[in-house]
A and B are shown apart, each in its own frame.
Chain A
Amino acid sequence: MTSAPPGRTSPPPSTSPAARFYTDDVALRTPSLLHAFPVQAPHTHALVTRLDPKPAYDVPGVVRVLTADDVPGANDSGTKHDEPLFPTEVMFHGQAVAWVLGETLEAARTGAVAVEVDYEPLPALVTVREAIEAGSFQGMQPRMERGDVAAGLAAATWVFEGELEMAGQEHFYLETHASLARLDDDGQVQVLSSTQHPTETQEIVAHVLGLPSHQVTVECVRMGGGFGGKEMQPHGYAAVAALGATVTGRPVRVRLTRQQDMTMSGKRHGFHASWRVGFDDDGRLQALDATLTSDGGWSLDLSEPVLSRALCHVDNAYWIPHVRLHGRIARTHKTSQTAFRGFGGPQGMLVIEDVLGRCAPRLGIDPTELRRRNFYADGQATPYGQPVRHPERLVTAWEQVLASGDVAGRRREIAAANAADPHRKRGLAVTPVKFGISFNFTAFNQAGALVHVYKDGSVLINHGGTEMGQGLHTKMLQVAATALGLPIERVRLAPTRTDKVPNTSATAASSAADLNGAAVKDACDQVLARLRPVRDRLGPDASWDEVVSAAYFDRVQLWAAGFYRTEGLSWDAAAMRGEPFKYFAYGVAAAEVEVDGFTGAYQVRRVDIVHDVGDSLSPLVDLGQVEGGFVQGVGWLTLEDLRWDASDGPARGRLATQAASTYKLPSISEMPADLRVSLLERATEEGGRLRVEGGRRAAAHARLLGARGDPRRGRGVRAGLDGGRAAVARHSGGRVVGDRTGAGRVMDWLAALQECRRRREAAVLVTVTEVRGHAPRDAGAKLVVTAGATWGSVGGGNLEETAVRRARALIGDGAGAPVVERFALSDRAPAEHGVQCCGGEVTLLLEPVPVRRAVAVFGMGHVGLEIALLLSRHELELHLVDSRADQLGDERLGPVRSGAAEVHVHRVPVLPELVVAELPAGTDVLVLTHDHAEDLALLDALLRSTLPGSIGLIGSSAKWTRFRARLADLGHPEPVVARVRTPIGDPAVTGVHGKTPAAIALSVVTELLARPAAVPR
């Protein structure tokens, strides 16, 4: 089931015993606890004309009935001030109008039944279409515009229009909403809440109680899943618990049953979209005019930012010169729809995917080809004005999926299978995703952390992010331990609390690890800086504990508050323009589905996903996130069915599918029979912040990619249909339009060579140098050959096949020298691959283009810079890494960039050793950072990796003696440690020229280049 926290890492031994519990586990261990139970309205829209709690007090065990009269502050639990906690107007079926507190849950439940409420029913808007017709909207109605849409449509060869409706989705986290509130001896309100946004929960609780924020502390130990459902929705439940605790003086627990959670809490927004689109003769998008209306439910909640993100993703991976997007939020009588993994992004992308999917057959272009043809190219910008950086990564991912998924071969198989079986049809869709990373709301891109070093050297960290099974706390422990150079057991993480780190942002937008990790690192750096003089005084042999203890007696502050904000973001919400995203993450999925023509039942046969997650801190966690996200997407678009009663009967507006028996999550039977997920290699984001997480954003895209699994998606996405299978039957009639095989990507020989170089694949360039008599191609024709592919042609037929074989033999031999071959084309002469009767003679030049040597320099201080300068004069791939951004300034590196080397700069404020995993195999690595702890962490990572060709360390023999001991402690056996070469450098050079940075660099480079490069496997 998707609701299981995906990819959750087990709690490390250093977490506190309390952290092993979830909120309600703590609640149930709390003495004199009261249980809260809601009085849910049986109407979809109604006025509360009378509410009499008295009969409830006759129920034994009922302690208190909470109503609006009890609220000392504001009767409002929404950040937009449109969510009365105790409403006088019921706005959705099942809304709580009062809460009963009981000694037992059963007493509270019986009491809730006894509360007498009279209602005056009112007409209700249940579907988004009804709301549109009634003009019922709420909040902003943004417009995003670029170019001249009218002119673009007028000039287009083809203009199509259509409508699309997509449903919402229940979060179905395993742990339903839960809060526990109590008062401490000072009357301070302590709330334990399953919340992704403790600060906002604190603010709402304070608002309801009429207290300043410092009187309220909210703590989140951990969540059993959130998926966005606990970003804004927990506040009201926390407020009810807090109100109950204030009124009774006893601890109060709110814990929703599954049914209450499903009927009361908000969900993913369903959307309605109408569009007009123009294409040119070649199927290139010219103009798009679309209106997206989200189903916001009864209150605004997060609907505005969700809508913004949806509009920012309508372009998905495609360049559209003229765009006009209009967004609206329908107000309907339903739960307040809210954040859900992807936060509107998937809904926005679905619109353009629907456009392309439906228009492809009308344009007579294969849908895969149509998508590929419209990809962004370098230099183009999104409709909101943000340049699309690194669009080539998407192409790489696309080609990786086509190749590893053998898409062309499987298309042939599918065509054969479809021809053979009249009742079972298969289809295969390839879909790209581009997803913007960061909160659209710029102010949320900040984070804080506390790092306490105690006198005994143990460390406690605290940060603003919350743990919901995504492994954030584990990542933060890793960051602190690495920054401080300590084993992870010396660091403990305390649960997230608003009295520790204030003013935090929600754990969301795929940015929690980035933001909080950088804040943790900042705090660690401050402590380290203060410790440095002490360490210098005690000497290099002093242990961490000795340094800390000495620092305490020197009265050095041993704790620090760290802070981080993402630079360079801008967003003008009124104009819908700016650069709201730090970067884009890309992904591609190829999904093959089979549909049974008798029933419409379908099966996902195979899915290949390549996803860019940046540099993964925890690849296993991230792969799990992609898989989980994918299945969650399959669930959203093919199976899960939020069925709101839209009839005119008495149950109108009620959620009919309010339990697991009727709301079907995907189970193991819906997993693709064959699911292959891989992460895009070497997708380093040089953005200057912690390049991690990715998992959640990956999940978001994967969810969308999952949606693509259904080759008939263009036919309407399950809007109020019979559920997965029935919908398919209704829409497809058992008919699948199998994708016609598209033309492969054509690259000329130069682009192909560049691509090989980029991918570090050995190639051979084959050129026709001379032709005598009759031959298929003239002199100058070129062909690029790699172990697995070819581009261009020297004339086809047996000549070409022979040339390819020779070329591959050269690659296999690792040959460096060119070879000339002569072929006679007659029915008698050549014979390797049959005959070719043009009667001429052809001379071919086969030039090997081997993979370039790669060198990585960790640490760009004086010596590092000199080394980089010397290396940059050679044909190399040069990787420069430093955790100090100022060492990698453009000015400083200018001269390095002017050489023959291809320079890759890795700015990594935290965990530079993560770069190790992305270095090409066989890289020669030089380690000379400014920091011994960093050196050690790097060596540890390098020795664990099989990638480096060689590892060189600069430093004294004393340093090496200490490092050897530490590396042994870290579990590296002696022969492994011996892979490190130290000291390095040709002593002849330093002997003559002294130990200036330039001389050391010369000696190191001389020695390095004298050794042959390791041959990458």
Chain B
Amino acid sequence: MRAEHVEIGAALTLSEVERLLAGRLPLLDAVLPQFASRLIRNGATIGGNLGTASPIGDLPPALLALDASVVLVSAAGEREVPLDGYFTGYRRTVRGPGELVRAVRVPLPPAPVAAFHKIAKRRFDDISSVAVAFALDVADGMVTRAAVGLGGVAATPVRATATEAALLGRPWDEETVRAGAEVLAGEGTPLDDHRASAAYRRAMLGQSLRRLFHEAGAA
């Protein structure tokens, strides 16, 4: 761990990540209890979650909202890639042959308003239908930093850039939230499948911002 970022080894299990971070990244603390079950978290690694590159994986939306980058390593050497540019398509990434994820870097300090909303059929041990990760900073009633990561709305995990723009620099109030929720509901291209309908997924996107405002409260 260095001063300007936290580096998480890719081979750490999620249970170890939870223990070692010890609350330094509140957003990950919000994700992990909702990730599968303890049984799985004791074995699943952060590298595996990024390696499998599923559009409905739970860590990518959170790590996107945290502005994380991945450290890739191969015989040829190491390179650091922002997570935002890591995913290239449905379960495809910029990783070349022979390249592994060695670590994940998350800049410090993290945004103080952090939340992870996972929508699934079952509370434990289920995959997200939609996942929304928020990392916001609110100073003097104004949104000074807005990062929103989404899962389950496109072929890859994505940043909700339009929503971020709709929030940034605005007062953190009901009006902004109402407008932001509408933008958020239009992000990505959610599909109908046997986990949820596209309409429900869109509705849940909008609801997530309203819920965040309700739970985090006006700052």
Contacts and interface: CB of A to CB of B under 8 A. Distances in A.
Interface of A: 423, 598-599, 601, 603, 639, 641, 643, 656-657, 661-662, 664, 666-670, 722-726, 729-730
Q: How large is the interface on B (under 10, 10 to 19, 20 to 34, 35 or more residues)?
A: 20 to 34
Contacts of B120: 725
Contacts of A657: 194
A158 B195 CA distance: 40
Q: Which 4 A-B pairs have the closest CB atoms?
A: A669-B123, A669-B124, A598-B211, A726-B200
A662 B194 contact: yes
A664 B195 CA distance: 10
B127 A661 contact: yes
Contacts of B125: 667, 669
B123 A599 contact: no
A197 B61 CA distance: 52
B78 interface: no
A639 B122 contact: yes
Nearest to B197: A722
Interface string B171-204: 0000000000000000000000111110010011
A601 B211 CA distance: 13
Interface of B: 117, 119-127, 129, 193-197, 200, 203-204, 207-208, 210-211, 214
Q: Which of A598, A661, A666, A729 has the most CB of B within 10 A?
A: A598
A723 B122 CA distance: 10
B190 to A, nearest CB: 12
Q: Which of B121, B123, B195 has the most CB of A within 10 A?
A: B121
B200 A670 contact: no
A423 B214 contact: yes
Contacts of A661: 127
A722 B196 contact: yes
A639 B200 contact: no
A641 B129 CA distance: 15
Given A662-B195, A722-B200, 18 more contacts: A423-B211, A598-B207, A598-B211, A599-B204, A599-B211, A601-B119, A661-B127, A667-B122, A667-B123, A667-B124, A668-B124, A669-B124, A669-B125, A670-B122, A725-B120, A726-B129, A726-B200, A729-B203
A384 to B, nearest CB: 39
12 contacts: A423-B211, A423-B214, A599-B207, A639-B121, A656-B193, A662-B194, A662-B195, A664-B122, A667-B122, A722-B196, A724-B121, A729-B203
Q: Which of B120, B200, B207 has the most CB of A within 10 A?
A: B200
B131 to A, nearest CB: 12
Contacts of B126: 664
Contacts of A641: 121, 194
Contacts of B129: 726
A730 B121 CA distance: 14
A599 B119 contact: yes
What does DSSP make chain B's interface, helix, strand, loop or mixed?
loop
Contact of A598 (B195, B197, B210): B210
B124 A656 contact: no
B124 A725 contact: no
A643 B122 contact: no
A724 B119 CA distance: 11
A723 B195 contact: yes
Nearest to B130: A599
A726 B194 contact: no
Nearest to A724: B121
Contacts, number: 60
A727 to B, nearest CB: 9
Contacts of B203: 729
B44 to A, nearest CB: 15
A862 B44 CA distance: 74
A641 B120 CA distance: 13
Contact of A664 (B119, B121, B207, B211): B121
A599 B203 CA distance: 9
A670 B194 contact: no
Contacts of B121: 639, 641, 664, 723-725
A1010 to B, nearest CB: 63
Contacts of B119: 599, 601, 725
A646 to B, nearest CB: 12
Contacts of A598: 207-208, 210-211, 214
A726 B196 contact: yes
Contact of B194 (A603, A639, A643, A669): A643
Q: Which of B117, B123, B210 has the most CB of A within 10 A?
A: B123
A724 B123 CA distance: 11
Contacts of A725: 119-121
A670 B122 CA distance: 7
Contacts of A423: 211, 214
B122 A726 contact: no
A726 B197 contact: yes
A724 B129 CA distance: 12
B180 to A, nearest CB: 15
A601 B203 CA distance: 13
A601 to B, nearest CB: 8
Contacts of A670: 122-123
A598 B132 CA distance: 13
A908 to B, nearest CB: 44
A723 B123 contact: no
Contacts of A662: 194-195
Contacts of A656: 193-194
Contacts of B208: 598
B200 to A, nearest CB: 4
A248 B207 CA distance: 62
Contacts of B194: 641, 643, 656-657, 662, 723
Nearest to B209: A598
Contacts of A603: 123
A670 B125 CA distance: 11
A643 B211 CA distance: 30
Contacts of A667: 122-125
A259 to B, nearest CB: 14
A729 B206 CA distance: 13
B119 to A, nearest CB: 6
Contacts of A668: 124
Contacts of B195: 662, 723
A723 B193 CA distance: 11
A603 B122 CA distance: 10
Contacts of B197: 722, 726
B95 to A, nearest CB: 25
A690 to B, nearest CB: 40
